[in-house]
């Protein structure tokens, strides 16, 4: 791998900050950092080839687009958990899926679009049936104390203004990797017979209205040195969840902290993701949090196998096909 130089760092900074929504964005970036358009493109190609830049695309706020999503925990016979995971992964809206060290051994995140014919709850039920899960528990975010606002952890109750069909098509295009050519939006638009100026106008409108958080580079995170992560789940009395959630989120080793619903067979309501150099260090962090907060009833859940980890593909045709196939199957079953 070639060592990145100061010019690479300047380019990475510009790409992460904002890729201008103009017909010749690489030329404009070059003007800002005193680099030719040709060199900008050549350097991005190398940075992508070396894995430092993953994608140039719009980062959307899935909640603002009307998506509903949540974490789901399932109990599955351990002898057929791989088969169950494969069935769940078949839904395009499943972005993460892990086996964990608990009787609730399969944990996945699911997101469905505002146009879903089934909605979130019924989709979870269908996936549970198809995967042969013994028990399925939906665990939506009730309150976020710390962490990202991505679709995998989105609160589903916010208001949104539906997009037009043309805007939905623009979302599908703008989430794709920007071609490394002098007029990239023309190339992007051409693939779906959309005019480039219309695509750029839609992008600017979506950005102004908050549907797009940022149009820029997705950069490979720097290696943190952490080799383990744990999901700490806690039983916290309802009257103290806010106080305890705030306190837990202040721990530097905690990257995410959420309040979720409880069930008769699952009393844990606060969730913290902690990172450490080893399982032992994660255990130590969770024990320190327990001492600091006075919360003693807890579990540390570790991923023992990753079945899926992917970015959500917004308004995907595949999600519609998945639902259509199951709708047709239900209709055929009812008619027989």
Kindly state whether residue 127 falls inside one of the protein's structural domains. yes
Residue 19 shares a structural domain with residue 125: no
Residue 38 shares a structural domain with residue 91: no
Residue 269 shares a structural domain with residue 151: yes
Kindly state whether residue 63 falls inside one of the protein's structural domains. no
Question: How far is Cα 199 from Cα 178, in angstroms, rounded to an integer?
Answer: 13
Nearby residues of 213 by Cβ (< 8 Å), 6 or more positions away? 59, 60, 61
Residue 281 shares a structural domain with residue 228: yes
Kindly state whether residue 197 falls inside one of the protein's structural domains. no
Residue 147 shares a structural domain with residue 258: yes
* 115 φ/ψ sector (left φ>0, alpha ψ -120 to 50, else beta): alpha
Domain containing 37 equals 1-51
Domain harbouring 34, CATH code? 1.10.10
Kindly state whether residue 323 falls inside one of the protein's structural domains. no
CA distances from 112 to 165, 242, 258, 317 (A): 17, 29, 20, 12
Per-residue pLDDT of the chain (336 residues; tens, 9 = 90+): 578 899 999 999 999 999 999 999 999 999 999 999 999 999 999 999 999 999 999 999 999 999 999 999 999 999 999 999 999 999 999 999 999 999 999 999 999 999 999 999 999 999 999 999 999 999 999 999 998 655 445 444 446 788 999 999 999 999 999 999 999 999 999 988 789 999 999 999 999 999 999 999 998 766 556 688 999 999 999 999 999 999 999 999 999 999 999 999 999 999 999 999 999 999 999 999 999 999 999 999 999 999 999 999 999 999 999 999 998 887 777 776
Residue 89 shares a structural domain with residue 122: yes
What distance, in Å, lies between the first and last C-alpha atoms of the chain? Answer: 61
Question: How far is Cα 201 from Cα 170, in angstroms, rounded to an integer?
Answer: 10
Indicate the burial class of 127 (C-beta count within 10 angstroms; 0-12, 13-18, 19 or more). Answer: buried
Number of domains making up the chain: 2
Residue 152 shares a structural domain with residue 236: yes
Residue 144 shares a structural domain with residue 236: yes
CA 265 to chain centroid, in Å, comes to 28
The pTM for the full model equals 0.88
Residue 7 shares a structural domain with residue 100: no
Residue 143 shares a structural domain with residue 83: yes
Residue 81 shares a structural domain with residue 36: no
Contact of 206 with 167, CB cutoff 8 Å: yes
Kindly state whether residue 215 falls inside one of the protein's structural domains. no
């Amino acid at each position: 791998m070639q060592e990145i130089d100061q010019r690479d760092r300047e380019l990475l900074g510009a790409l992460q900050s904002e890729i201008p929504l103009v017909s010749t964005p690489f030329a404009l970036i070059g003007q800002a950092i005193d680099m030719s358009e040709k060199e900008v493109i050549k350097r991005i190609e190398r940075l992508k080839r070396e894995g430092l830049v993953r994608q140039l695309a719009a980062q959307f706020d899935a909640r603002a687009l009307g998506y509903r999503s949540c974490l789901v925990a399932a109990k599955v016979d351990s002898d057929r958990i791989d088969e169950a995971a494969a069935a769940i992964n078949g839904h395009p809206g499943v972005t993460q899926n892990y086996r964990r060290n608990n009787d609730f051994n399969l944990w996945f995140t699911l997101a469905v679009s505002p146009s879903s014919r089934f909605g979130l709850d019924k989709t979870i039920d269908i996936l549970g049936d198809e995967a042969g899960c013994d028990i399925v528990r939906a665990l939506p975010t009730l309150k976020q104390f710390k962490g990202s606002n991505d679709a995998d952890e989105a609160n589903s109750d916010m208001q949104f203004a539906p997009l037009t069909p043309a805007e939905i098509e623009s979302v599908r295009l703008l989430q794709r990797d920007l071609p490394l050519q002098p007029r990239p939006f023309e190339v992007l638009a051409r693939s779906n017979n959309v005019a480039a100026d219309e695509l750029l106008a839609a992008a600017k409108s979506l950005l102004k209205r908050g549907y797009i958080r940022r149009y820029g580079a997705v950069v490979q995170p720097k290696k943190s040195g952490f080799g383990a992560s744990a999901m700490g789940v806690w039983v916290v009395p309802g009257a103290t969840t806010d106080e305890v959630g705030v306190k837990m989120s202040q721990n530097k080793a905690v990257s995410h902290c959420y309040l979720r619903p409880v069930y008769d067979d699952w009393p844990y309501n606060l969730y913290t993701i902690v990172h450490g150099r080893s399982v032992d260090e994660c255990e130590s962090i969770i024990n320190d949090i327990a001492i600091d907060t006075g919360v003693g009833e807890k579990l540390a859940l570790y991923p023992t196998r990753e079945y899926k980890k992917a970015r959500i593909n917004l308004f995907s045709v595949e999600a519609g096909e998945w639902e259509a196939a199951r709708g047709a199957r239900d209709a055929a079953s009812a008619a027989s």
